[in-house]
Amino acid sequence: MQMKHSSNIVIVGLGLLGGSYARGLRKAGFDFVYAIDVDQDSIDYAKEQGYICDGKTCDFEEWLKQADYVVFALYPAMLQNWVKRWGYLLRDGCICTDVSGVKNGLVQSVQRLLKPGVEFIASHPMAGKEVSGVQNSHLVDFTPANFLITPTENNTERGVKFAKELAQVLGFAHVRVIDCEEHDRMIGYVSQLTHAIAVSLMCAPAAERFAEYTGDSFRDLTRIARMNETMWAELFLWNRENLICEIDDFSARMEYLKQCLIDNDRSELERLFRQSTRARKAFDQKEREG
Amino acid sequence: MQMKHSSNIVIVGLGLLGGSYARGLRKAGFDFVYAIDVDQDSIDYAKEQGYICDGKTCDFEEWLKQADYVVFALYPAMLQNWVKRWGYLLRDGCICTDVSGVKNGLVQSVQRLLKPGVEFIASHPMAGKEVSGVQNSHLVDFTPANFLITPTENNTERGVKFAKELAQVLGFAHVRVIDCEEHDRMIGYVSQLTHAIAVSLMCAPAAERFAEYTGDSFRDLTRIARMNETMWAELFLWNRENLICEIDDFSARMEYLKQCLIDNDRSELERLFRQSTRARKAFDQKEREG
C-alpha cells in the first residue's frame, strides 16, 4: 500500500459521495481526513459523525499544501473551476482523483490545469442514491458497485495504483480500468439512457392517472426518476453526443417493436422476446459469477 | 362469504398462475380444488405438493358439470377456444373467472359463449414472475399485488362479490373494480409499455458490450426483459392499439428530452428532472399510504 493511515487526505465537496468517501476512509483507519465545503452545516455533521477530523469553508490553503491525496467530489464544471482557482497550491507528488460521472474532455482539462508534479488520476464510483447530501452518505453502499479508473497518457503507474488502493479501501467489489472515451460511451447507455427512460416514463400524464394500478415493473423502471436535477442536467449535457446517439438507437428499437405490432407479426415479436430473455439470462449468469 | 370450503373449484390451466391459485385456495382451507391441464407432469407435481385434490388431462366432463366455481388460467386465445369447446358443460349458477392480462373484446366474447345461467366475471391478478410453470408457482406473491375486477353490463352483484372473495382468500392487498376498456388502456401503459422498454433496452448491441459496467439502474430496468414469449406476444397483439399509442407518446417524450440536449437547454432539462422527481415522490407517498 502506498496510502498510509498517516496520509493527509483532503476531500473537496462534502455531498453524498464526498461524505461516503470520508466515512469509508475513516472506517478503514485513515485518521487524517479533512474536508472542504461551502456549507458549514455539512462540515459540522461530518465532524459530529466522525467522518472527518476537521473541515473548513475557507482558509484551507495550508491543508492543500500538505495534502498527500485529494478527492474532488464536485460536479464537473465546479471541479474545473475549483482546480483553476486552488490547484496551484498542491505540492509535488500529490495525487488527486474525482468522482465524476463523465470523463472525456473533463479529465484532460483538469490535468492541464495542474502542475506537472501533481497527478490527477480520474475515477468514477458507480454508486449513488436517489437522495443527496452528506446526511445521506451512510446510505451509499460501495460493496456491490463498480469502481472505474480512467487514465490518460498523462497518468503514471503510481497514480493508477493509488486509485486501485482507494477502491479497495472503500470496499468496491469490482475495479476496472477503461479509457475516457469508452467510459462516456458506456455511461451514455448504461446510466444516462436509463435515466432518460425513467424520466420519460414518469412524466407521462398516464403516470398519475394510473398510479393506483402500477405494479413491480413500473416501480422498478421509475425508481431512478428521483434525480438531483442540477447534477444530472450537467452530466447529460457534458455527454450529450453519446446520449443523443443512445436515445436514437433505443428509439429505433422501440419503433421496430411498434412496427411488429402494426404488422401483427407474432413470430417476430416472439423472436424479440426470446432475444431479450436470452440476453437477460446471460446477464444474470455473469452477475452471479461476479 | 358465498364461497364455501366445501365448494367445488376447477382450475383450468395449471401454469404459474393456475398453480398459485390452487396453492392459495388449498392453503385457505378449500378442500375440493381440481385442475385440468394438458400436461400430466404439472398435475402430478401439483398433487404431490398438495395444491390440488385431483387433476386430469381428459375425461373431466363430470367435474365441469359439478363445478361451483371455475378459474380459467389460460392465455386469451386458448381461453376462448376452451370455452367454445367445453363451456356448455357448466351448470346453471356456476361462476367463472380468469387471470388474463387483457380484457376488452375477450371478456365480452367469453360471456357470449356461455349459457345465460353461467356467469363469467373477469379479473386480472397483477402478479407474476419472470418464470413460468406450476413448479414456480410458490414464487408468486399476491400480498402486495393488485387484483382487478372488470365487470361488464352482463355481470351481477353476485359475480362481483365472488371475485372480491376470491381476491381476499388469495390474500391480495388491493382489490379494484375497473371497466374493460380502461383496464386495457392502463395495462398498455403500466405493464406493456414497460416491458416494451425493457426489451428494447436489453436487445441493444451495447447491452452485451457494456455488461460488466452495468449498475442498479440497468438491472432494475431490464429485470422484466425475461419474458414468456408466447404469452407476451399474445397480450401485446391483443392490446396493440393501446400499446401503439403508449409507445408513440413515450417516444415523443424521449424526443423532447433529446431536443433539450440538442438545444443545450439546461433549464428545461432541470425542469423535466424536477417534474419526474416530484411525480416519483408523490407515487412513493401514495404507495406508503397504501
Determine the Cα–Cα distance for residues A89 and A214; give it in Å rounded to an integer: 54
Instruction: Kindly report, residue by residue over A163-179, the tens digit of the pLDDT.
Output: 999 999 999 989 999 99
Task: Please check whether residue B177 touches A, CB under 8 A.
Answer: no
Task: For residue B189, give the chain A residue with the closest CA.
Answer: A206
User: Where does the pLDDT of residue B290 fall: very low under 50, low under 70, confident under 90, or very high at 90 and above?
Assistant: low
Domain boundaries, chain B: 9-178, 183-289
CB contact under 8 A, B261 and A269: no
Determine the Cα–Cα distance for residues A147 and A171; give it in Å rounded to an integer: 10
**Closest CA of chain A from B242, distance in Å:** 11
- The minimal CB distance from B207 to the residues A237, A270, A279 is found for A279
pLDDT at B73: 97
Interface of B with A in 66-105 (CB under 8 A): none
Interface of A with B in 6-45 (CB under 8 A): none
Determine the Cα–Cα distance for residues B168 and B188; give it in Å rounded to an integer: 26
Other CB atoms within a 10 A radius of the CB of residue A36 amount to 24
Q: What is the mean pLDDT of residues B63-70?
A: 98
CB contact under 8 A, B240 and A257: no
User: Residues 6 or more apart from A147 whose CB is under 8 A from it?
Assistant: A123, A124, A125, A126, A163, A166, A167, A170, A172, A174, A175, A176
pLDDT at B289: 76
The residues facing A71 across adjacent strands are: A11, A97
CB contact under 8 A, B220 and A225: no
Task: Report chain A residues whose CB lies below 8 A from the CB of B146.
Answer: 212-213, 215
Task: Report chain A residues whose CB lies below 8 A from the CB of B129.
Answer: none
| Check whether domain A9-178 has CATH 3.40.50.720, yes or no | yes
**Residue A144 pLDDT greater than 90, yes or no:** no
- The minimal CB distance from B217 to the residues A194, A204, A273 is found for A194
User: Residues 6 or more apart from B182 whose CB is under 8 A from it?
Assistant: none
Which of these ranges, A126-130, A154-158, B168-172, has the smallest mean pLDDT?
Answer: A126-130
- Grid coordinates representing B1 are 362469504
- Grid coordinates representing A140 are 451509499
**Closest CA of chain A from B235, distance in Å:** 10
Does the pTM of the predicted model rise above 0.95? no
Query: Closest by alpha carbon to B205, among A180, A249, A102, A251?
Result: A249
pLDDT at B131: 80
CB contact under 8 A, A146 and B194: no
Domain covering B183-289 in this structure, CATH number? 1.10.3660.10
**Closest CA of chain B from A239, distance in Å:** 9
- The minimal CB distance from B277 to the residues A211, A225, A257 is found for A225
A63: left (phi over 0), alpha (psi -120 to 50) or beta: alpha
Q: What pairing do the DSSP bridges indicate for beta strands B95-98 and B119-120? A: parallel
